[in-house]
Structure 1
Amino acid sequence: MTIKLSAANLDKLPKNVGKPSYDRSALSGGILHFGLGNFHRAHQAVYLDDLFNAGLDHDWALVGAGVFDFEKPGRDRLKDQDWLTTVVEQDAGHKQARVTGAMIDFIEPGDTDALIAKLADPAIRIVSTTITEGGYFIDPATQKFNPQHPDIVADGKNPDRPKTVFGLMLAGLKSRRADGTPPFTVMCCDNIPHNGKVTADAVVGLARLSDPEFADWIVRNVAFPNAMVDRITPATTDRERKALKDDFGVEDNWPVFCEPFRQWVLEDRFPAGRPALERVGVQFVEDVSPFELMKIRILNGGHAVIAYPAGLMDIHFVHEAMQNDLVRRFLSKIENEEIIPTVPPVPGTDIDDYFALIERRFSNPTIGDTVRRLCLDGSNRQPKFIIPTIADRLKAGKSIDGLALESALWCRYCYGTTDSGAITEPNDPNWERMNATAKNAKNDPAAWLAMEDIYGAVGRSDVFARGFAEALGSLWKDGTQATLANYLSRS
C-alpha cells in the first residue's frame, strides 16, 4: 500500500519517512524563487525546512515563480500535492526519505501581473534563482552580460510587460521604489563564477536599456551576494518514482533523489534581512570567491572531464564512468596536474581532501546520475568550468595536454555519434551549431576553435590549437579508449 503525498496525508506517511514538525498553515512567504527544479528543492528548500523544523523564521517560506510554459507541468505536479516534495538522500550505506514543506505557493508561469505584484509585496525580502548557467544572458567569450540578446532587447523595449526573470525583477523593484518599500535582495544559487555579480550585471544591464537613472538606483540600493552551492541532484524519472513507492511506500509526482552531501557558502549581504541559515549549516563568509573557484573548477570541471569520454564509450551512469579505469585515471591526472594547481588556497579547506571527497561523490552508485546530464549544455558550461582554467595554464606557460584532450572529447561528442556508432541525441541548446561545427572540425580542427564566442583568446593560442588538433585526430583515428590510454601512459 502506498500513500499519496498531500497535506492531508502527512500523518499517514510511513514511520520511516520524515515530515515537517511545524505547522505549515502558520508559514508566510519571505522568499520568491525562480527555478523550482530538482536542485533547488534538494538544496535551498531543504535548508529552510531544517530551519522551520527548528522552530525558527517561519516568515521566510518559499513562493515559487516561473516564466516559461515548460514550467507549468512541474507546477501542476507540485500543486497536486500541496507544494510538498519528498527528498531521498542515498549513498552506498545510507538511504533516507523526508517530506519537505518549505514551499507554500507557486505563481502560475506567465502570469506577469501576479508575479510583479508578489515581487512588490513588502513581505518578499529575498528573490532567489536557479535558472541554469545559460539563463543569465552571458556572452561566452567575454563572460559578460550580453545586452543584444533578443530576449533582453525585447524587455528593454517593453519594460512594463517583461518576459525574462530579470525584466520581472526590474518591474517589481520599480514598484517597490514607487511605494517606498525597501528593495529585496537578489540571491543567485546557480553554478556561475561570481554569480551575484553576474546577476547584478544582468539586472542593471537590462535596466540601462530603458531607464539609466533607475539602473543607477539599483546599483546603490540592491544587494546581490555571491554564493557557492553544491549538491549532486540528477533528474527525476519513473525509475525514481517507482523506487520511492517500493522502498518507502510514498507516491510523489516529482520526488528528488540526491546525495547526502550538501554545501552552501554565502556572502552575508542582506539589507532587507534574511533567515538564520547559519543555524542549519550554511556558512556565511565575507568573500565566497575562493570556495566558488574551488568548486567550479574541481567539481564542475571534473564533471566535464569524465562526461565526454564516458559518453563516447556508451557509459550510462556517472558511477559506472568512475568504475572505468581509464575514465577515473583521466580525471585524477587532469585534476592533479592541470586543474588543482590553478586553485588558490581556500580558508579551512585542504584541497587534496576536497578532491578525494569529489571522487567519492562521483562514485556514489545509488544516485543514478547520468552521463548524459553531465554532457548537457557544453556551449554554456565549458566557457565557465573548463576554458578559464586553460587560459590560466596558458598564461603561466604550463602544460594543457589534458585539457586540450577534454576539449577534443567535447568536440567529438558533439559530432553526434559515439565510438560504437550509436546516435547521440541533441544535448545542447545550441546543438545544431555545435553538431555542424564538430563535423567541420573532423577534417579541420581549427573550425572548432574558431567559435570566438566560446573560446575567445584560448582558441587563438597556437599551443592550445596544436594540442587540440593532435587529440582530436587521435580520437578519430584510434578511438576514445586508445586515446585515453596513450595520454595516461605519458609521465
Structure 2
Amino acid sequence: MSQSLNLANLANLPSAIARPNYAREALRPGILHIGVGNFHRAHQAVYLDDLFNAGKDHDWALIGAGIRSGDRAMRQALEPQDWLTTVVELEPGVDVARVTGSMVGFVPVGEDGRAIVDALDGPGLRIVSLTVTEGGYCIDPATGAFNPEHPDIVHDAAHMDAPRGVFGVLLAALRRRRDGGLAPFTVMSCDNIPHNGQVARDAVAGLADLVDPALAAFVREQVAFPNSMVDRITPATTDRERAILSERFGIQDNWPVFCEPFRQWVLEDNFPTGRPALEEVGVTFTPHVAAFELMKLRILNGGHAAIAYPAGLLGIHFVHDAMADPLVSGFLDRLETEEIIPHVPPVPGVDLQDYYRLIASRFANPGVGDTIPRLAQDGSNRQPKFILPSTRDRLKAGADVTGLALESALWCRYCAGTTDAGEPFTLDDPNAARLTPAALAAKDDPSAFLALRDIFGDIADASLFRSRFETALKSLWRDGTRATLQRYLNADG
C-alpha cells in the first residue's frame, strides 16, 4: 500500500527511498524562487537538498513563489505534503527515487505580486532565483533586446503598488529594500536564455527607467545578476508518472518529478550578500559561463528543436521513439555535425563532439518519457534563441544553410497545425493565432512566414536562406516529411 507524502510519513516510506537526513525545522530560508515547476524541483532544489544532506548551509532553504495560475496549482499540490517532492531519476533498468526537503514554504499566490514583495522585505532572503521560461523576459525575439512595450511592463510601470509581472515584482521589492536600508538581493536567472543574467538585469532596469531614473541607476549599480547555464531533461508530470510512483515506489505524491540522471549547473560567482557552497555538490563556478551557455543552447536546445518538428509531423509522441527513427536521428546528426557545432566557440575543458554524443544518448533514453509536444512548444520564443543564431553565423561566414533552413521549414509546416497524415493538433505557442495563418499562407507563398520579422529579423533578407527555406517548405508540402528528410540525408555535403 502506498503512503501519502508528508513529513509525518517520511519514516514509513520504503527503505530504498532516499529522504532528507537533516531536520527540516532547523532550515532557514535564504532563497525565494519564482516559478516552481518541474525543472526547478529537479535541479536547484536537488542541489540544495544535497548540500543540506551534507550538513552545510542550512540557512539557504527555498521559499516558493509565483503569480500565474500554474503557480497557484503547484502551491495547492505541495502544501498538503509539507512542500516535499519526490524526484525519480529514470534510466533503463535503474530507476532511483528520492524525497527532497529543501523547500520550506510557498508564498500565497494572488492576482498580483504584492505577497512576494512583502516576503522579500527582510534580510534573510538574499537570493531571488527564476525559472519563468524563455518567453517570460519581455524581450524582442528578433533582437534579444528588452521590450518596454510588453503588456506586463506597461502595466507594472503604471501600477508598481500591485505589479503583475515578475520584473515588476522584483523592482517593487528592490525599491522597498532600498528605501528601508536593506541590501538588495541577488537575482539569479535559471532560464535557457543567452546571457540570462544580463537579460534579467535589462528587464528590471528597463522597467525602472520607466518608473524612476534614480531607481534604475540603483539597479544597474547595486544589484547583482549572475549569468548561469542549467541543464536537466525534465518532462511534464502526468497521471502516468503518478501511477508509476505509487505502484513502483509506494508513494502518493500530488506532483512528483521524473527526470534523467544527468544534471549540470554553471554559475558566475557574483553574489554580494552571500550564497550557498554549491561547488561542494557539483556546481561549476566560472567566469566563462557564456561559453558553456552557448554550447548548451546551440547543441542541446537547438537539437531539441531539430527533432521536435519532424517527429511531430510524423506523429511520433516520445522523444526516444523519435531518436529510434533513422530519418529523424539522421537529420539531427547531420545538422549538428555540419552546421551547428562548427560555429560553437571552444569551451574550456570540453570536446564539443563528445558533448554532442552525450546529448544524443540523453535524448535516446527511453526511461525519461520526454515528449515531442513538450519540445515543440513555444517555438516563436525558442527558434530565435536556439536555431536562428546558428543560421545567422553561417550566413555571415558565407556557408550554406541547407539543414538549418530545413529546420525552419519544418517548424513552419508544424505551425500549420496538422501532421503529414492530416491529423490536427493544437499549436502550443503564445503566438499561435498569427503563426498558423502565416504557416498556411506559406504553403503557396513561403515568404508569408518569413514576414514574421520579429522572429526572423534580418535572416529573412538573406537570399540564400530564403531560397533554401522555400525549397524545403515546398518539398514538405508536396512530398512529405519522410521524403524530404531522406533527400537531405542523401545529398552530398
- Tell me how far apart the structure 2 counterparts of residues 113 and 231 of structure 1 sit (CA, whole Å): 32
In structure 2, what residue type is equivalent to 1:193? P
Cα drift, residue 123 of structure 1: 0.3
1:73 has 2:73 as partner: yes
Q: Report the count of equivalent residues.
A: 491
* Ranges in structure 2 where 5+ consecutive residues have no aligned partner: none
Q: Which stretches in structure 1 are left out of the alignment for 5+ residues?
A: none
Is 1:204 aligned with 2:205? yes
Aligned counterparts of 2:69 and 2:349: Cα–Cα separation in 1: 44
Match of 1:17 in 2: 17
Matching residue of 2:168: 167
CA contact (8 A) 1:119 1:169 kept: no
Cα pair 2:114 2:169 within 8 Å, conserved: no
Alignment of 1:142-291 (within 5 A): 142-291=143-292
Cross-structure match for 2:41: 41
Q: CA deviation at 1:179?
A: 1.4
How far does residue 113 in structure 1 lie from its aligned partner after superposition? 3.4
Contact 1:107 1:115 in 2 (8 A): yes
Residue 333 to residue 112, structure 1, CA distance change in 2 (3 Å): closer
Distance in 1 separating the partners of 2:422 and 2:149 = 39
- How far, CA to CA, are the matches of 1:151 and 1:276 in structure 2? 35
State whether residues 109 and 115 of structure 2, in contact with CA within 8 Å, keep that contact through their aligned partners in structure 1.
no
How far does the alpha carbon of each residue in 1:208-227 deviate from its partner, in whole angstroms, 9 at most, with x for none? 10101110111110000000
Shift of 1:144: 0.7
Take 1:229 and 1:132, find their aligned partners in 2: how far apart are those partners?
A: 12
Deviates more, 1:86-95 or 1:103-112: 103-112
Q: What SS class does the counterpart of residue 417 from structure 1 fall into?
A: coil
TM-score when normalising by structure 1: 0.99
- Report how far residue 121 of structure 1 moved: 1.5
Deviation at 1:70, TM superposition (A): 3.1
Shift of 1:285: 0.2
Whole-angstrom CA distance in 2 between matches of 1:113 and 1:329: 50
Match of 2:117 in 1: 116
CA contact (8 A) 2:377 2:429 kept: yes
Matches within 5 A, 1:39-438: 39-110=39-110, 112-438=113-439
Q: Tell me how far apart the structure 2 counterparts of residues 73 and 226 of structure 1 sit (CA, whole Å).
A: 29
Return the offset for 1:167.
0.7
What is the percentage of aligned positions where both structures have the same residue?
62
SS in 2 for 1:105: strand
CA deviation after TM superposition for structure 1 residue 426, in Å? 2.5
**How much does 1:18 deviate?**
0.6
Structure 2 Cα separation of the partners of residues 393 and 299 of structure 1: 18
Shift of 1:22: 0.2
- TM superposition outliers: structure 1 runs of 4+ over 3 Å: none
Measured after TM superposition, the shift of residue 69 of structure 1 is 2.5
The Cα of 1:157 is off from its aligned counterpart by 1.1
Matched to 2:438, the amino acid is T
Paired amino acid for 1:105: G
Whether the 8 Å CA contact 1:315–1:371 is kept in 2: the answer is yes
User: 1-side partners of 2:367 and 2:114: how far apart?
Assistant: 43
SS at the partner of 1:145? coil
Quote the residue 2:27 is aligned against.
27
Residues in 2 aligned to 1:112 and 1:411: alpha-carbon distance in whole angstroms: 37
Tell me the SS of whatever aligns to 1:17: coil
Q: Which residue matches 2:449?
A: 448
CA contact (8 A) 1:311 1:413 kept: yes
Query: Normalising by structure 2, what TM-score?
Result: 0.99
Hey, what's the Cα distance between the residues in 2 that align with 1:413 and 1:284? Answer: 39
Give, as a single letter, the amino acid of the residue that structure 2 aligns with 1:2.
Answer: S
SS in 2 for 1:315: coil
- Match of 1:18, SS state, is coil
**Given residue 17 of structure 2, which amino acid in structure 1 is its aligned partner?**
V
Contact 2:113 2:165 in 1 (8 A): no
Give 1:307's aligned amino acid: A
Equivalent residue runs for 1:470-481 within 5 Å: 470-481=471-482
Q: Report the Cα distance in structure 2 between the residues aligned to 1:112 and 1:423, rounded to whole angstroms.
A: 38
1:286 is displaced (CA, Å) by 1.2
Structure 1 residues 68-77 or 177-186, which shifts more? Answer: 68-77
Q: Distance in 2 between matches of 1:340 and 1:305?
A: 13
Contact 1:449/1:459 (<8 A) preserved: yes
Cα pair 2:183 2:273 within 8 Å, conserved = yes
Q: CA deviation at 1:425?
A: 1.3
Residue type matched to 1:34 in 2?
I
What value does the CA root-mean-square deviation take over the aligned residues? 0.7
Q: Secondary structure at the match of 1:426?
A: coil
Q: What SS does the aligned partner of 1:104 have?
A: strand
3-state secondary structure, aligned to 1:439: helix
Mapped to 2, the partners of 1:427 and 1:286 lie a distance apart of 36
Which residue number in structure 2 is paired with residue 4 of structure 1? 4
Residue type of the partner of 1:219?
R
Output the amino acid matched with 2:309.
Y
Deviates more, 1:104-113 or 1:42-51: 104-113
